Amino acid sequence: MSQIKKVLIANRGEIALRIIRACRDMGIRTVAVYSTVDKNALHVQLADESVCIGPGPSKDSYLNESAILTAALLANADAIHPGYGFLSERADFAQKVQSHGMIWIGPSPEMIIKMGDKVNAKRTAIECGLPVVPGSDGAVETIEDALKCAEQIGYPVMLKASAGGGGRGMRPIMSADEMAAAFQITKNEARSGFGDDTLYMEKLLLHPRHIEFQVLGDQHGNVVIFGERDCSLQRKNQKVMEECPAAALTQKQRDDMIEICKNAAKKMGYMNAGTFEFMFEDGKFYFLEMNTRLQVEHPVTEMVYGVDLVREQIRIAAGEQLGYTQSNVIPHGHAIEFRINAEDPETFIPNPGKITLYAPSGGLGVRVDSAVYTGYEIPPTYDSMIAKLIVYAQNRTACIMRAKRALDEFVIEGIKTTIPLQQRLLDNYDVKTLRFDNHWLENYLKQPVDQPSSNDQTEGNE
């Protein structure tokens, strides 16, 4: 590991702290960067060095490429780890890191470019043998093109911005009558939101699950797939709970997709960590996109497979071989991650402020990834996620029982959080019996909180 002695972490919050811990385990020094509103943040306190890179707004600090590169050079950092979000999928930034003689801990800039554009990503997926949703062959340029494509693949369809992401830049179209207006609105939104109005079209799946496969590839052509995660419980295309493994799959479906994903990653020459995301409906998988970075939900994979994915990222970036094959990658047990946000659990309005008491849950099989503490002031400037509760047990039923206990004893006072929502979900019959899809949570949240759905049942009725 002589190639990497010091890592600058171009991020904040729990993921910055997560990377610091992995580096410390490896004997690598760390450099934290922070905005003025984050001067008391935990990642700043625990890093070996810290550098202020600007005022609160992300564009002036965590998205300020020049400030981060300058901080890295002044600190004599060997490498930069971007975490997720912010600059993690900015190919131009990755190229700048490398051009300044530092190591980029992530996939190559070329791979980020290739898989970052949704149209190119789908074309690459097809070339590499991944199953895809029926849709347009590239971009749809005009309303006439869109109508013709929709007629071929059949309604309902989904118009998507090629440069979109995070649930933005997409619109469902149920019939030809809706096409003209929807096409223009989506094109305008894509132009204003992403600076690129290129659109493409896919068949709209009505009851899909969101299943993703964790990829690791080294610089020597070795690739392994660390199984899959079920991320179907989503609100406005934002994940709320994630599980590993995906209990809705048969072993054959799992094994077949692991082989397909492994071969695809090898064919495209993928290096470092990434995730193939799929829609899964009626026993079939359809490629959605590839995230060329670490995922928020990576801890559930770590718990089930006994691997430190951040450590592996650093090893790969340093030129080391994986040192194991697919046959060595064996899952054990079940893990669930709960994203805890500083939000009203009913309205989902962000609720920043001072935490007057922070007492995270603990015990066997309980992990909390967070960078907050008692007395910490949550700024209104950034994403509202303040903690991730990850629970592990020998099977899904035991994991749910342990998760209920862990959520019950997790105390955060001074602000509102989404813990009550997570508690409600674990008591829901559909969640316990895997009777949900990507749209289930949105429909569930339309029901009054004090009137449980007809499917809410006690443990004895299961």
Q: Which residues are catalytic?
A: 293
Task: Kindly provide the b/e burial profile for residues 128-158, where b requires at least 16 CB atoms within 10 angstroms of the residue's own CB.
Answer: bebebbebbeeebeeeebbbebbeebeeebb
Q: What CA–CA distance (Å, rounded) separates 246 from 436?
A: 12
Nearest alpha-carbon partner for 276 in 129, 174, 446:
129
Give Cα separations from 62 to 9, 166, 206, 293 (angstroms): 10, 18, 37, 17
Do residues 64 and 53 make contact, with C-beta atoms less than 8 angstroms apart? yes
Q: What CA–CA distance (Å, rounded) separates 123 from 234?
A: 27
Q: How far is CA 145 from its chain centroid?
A: 33
Tokens 């009054």 correspond to 448
Count of CB atoms within 10 A of residue 172's CB?
Answer: 13
Tokens 């503490």 correspond to 373
172 cis-preceded (ω within 30 degrees of 0): no
Q: Which amino acid is at 401?
A: M
The token pair at 184 is 């223009």
Tokens 């080391």 correspond to 320
The token pair at 391 is 């629970």
Give the three-class secondary structure for 301: helix
Q: In what order do the strands lie in the sheet with 284-291?
A: 284-291, 272-281, 209-217, 223-235, 238-244, 334-341, 385-393, 366-370
Do residues 7 and 105 make contact, with C-beta atoms less than 8 angstroms apart? yes
Q: What CA–CA distance (Å, rounded) separates 35 from 40?
A: 10
